[in-house]
Amino acid sequence: MKKFTIFTGTRAEYGLLKYLIKALTIEKDFETNLIVAASHLSPKFGETINEIKVDGIEPSFYIPLRIDSEENGMCLQTADIMIEVSKVLKELNPDYLILLGDRFETFGTAAAGHLLGIKIIHIHGGESTLGAIDDKLRHAISQLSTLHFTSAKVHKERVEKMGFPQDKVFNVGPMAIDGILNTIELNKKEFSRKTNFIFGQNNFLVTFHPETLSSDLGMEGLDNLLKVLKEIDCNILFTSPNADKGFELILKKIKAFVIETKPKSIFIPSLGQELYLNALRLLDCVIGNSSSGIVEAPLIGANIINIGNRQEGRFRFGKVINVNKNYYSIKNAINNSVSKSRTIDNKNNFSEYKKLRSPSKAILDVLRNYD
């Protein structure tokens, strides 16, 4: 029997892993354990452990972390992860450790697994985000891994250029496809009932994360975005930033804006995958610097405005409007978005991706035959 351990430390990562976790759990020849850590267990980020349990998935181990936005916060959390994950991995003794993406929590887990001699399976490697500290962490995780599942051909080629043979690198497409194809579509009335969001003339979904390689952590872009939004007749749904350095200041600014502009603005730390994907579909524009605006939003046919450098270099899965952090660039992009319907390019793009096979099923097929 093959033994797998899966790690998740954030809501976004879990949403992409959910259907793979379920598939592995019911596979009779596999033993699968799930480690849930970090922001999943924090009230600041919506205690998304509850979303995991609602999905019928029972974690095997919980690893709470200090959530600290100080200068060395990520260093301390990475060290904590290595210590605590190493204890769990030593107890579970898995054959394979499955990791997705590029978070510092994931990097710490990869380092622990590698030092314990556990084979690492990396999903969504080979991608590029030149404006974030995650970029080098992602490549480091790939280098520590044995088997790779990428989201696009260009990412597969990039992993192979790292020195990995072709039979260890598989392009299965973006994991978001599973969530999009399996999510129940809500209408606006149903969405409002579940979230208390009030639809108006122009409706925006905003997610803004710290820009970890910028001296101001991206605050110029956030300040100018909030200034523009205050001047436009719009209703806004904000979600929480990730736990990178600077997140507390972002939260403070967003919460102050919501208090000043309610009931037109609402803050929900985490929507959960079903509501988030419906928000991408129902609201008029997605604004911010989240990877979901580069991957999920184009696939689902949304209008997207990506602000700043955080996602620089990342492969776009459809049409994305990229703007710098100054006030007029953001204002012009938003004004153009409210005057146009959803992009035909992205609607057609999603129809093509719907023809693809489930990435989770493709991974499962490889794992069944892999030693």
The pTM assigned to this predicted structure is 0.90
CB 160 within 8 A of CB 169: yes
Lowest mean pLDDT among 8-12, 24-28, 187-191: 8-12
pLDDT at site 69: 59
At 105-157, the pLDDT tens digits run: 999 999 999 999 999 999 999 999 888 888 999 999 999 999 999 999 999 99
At 259-275, the pLDDT tens digits run: 999 999 999 999 999 99
pLDDT at site 43: 83
pLDDT at site 58: 93
Give dist(CA 237, CA 242) in Å, integer: 16
Asked whether the predicted pLDDT for residue 347 surpasses 60, the reply is no
Alpha helices per DSSP H over the chain: 11-26, 49-54, 73-92, 104-115, 134-143, 153-161, 176-182, 188-195, 219-231, 247-261, 272-282, 296-300, 327-338, 344-353, 359-369
Asked whether the predicted pLDDT for residue 255 surpasses 70, the reply is yes
Mean pLDDT, rounded, for 328-352: 73
Domain annotation for the chain: domains and CATH numbers = 2-173+357-369 (3.40.50.2000), 188-353 (3.40.50.2000)
Pairing between strand 30-37 and 61-63?
parallel
At 60-107, the pLDDT tens digits run: 999 988 776 566 788 999 999 999 999 999 999 999 999 999 999 999
User: Residue 46 has which token pair?
Assistant: 């919506």
pLDDT above 70 coverage of the chain, percent: 94
CB 38 within 8 A of CB 10: yes
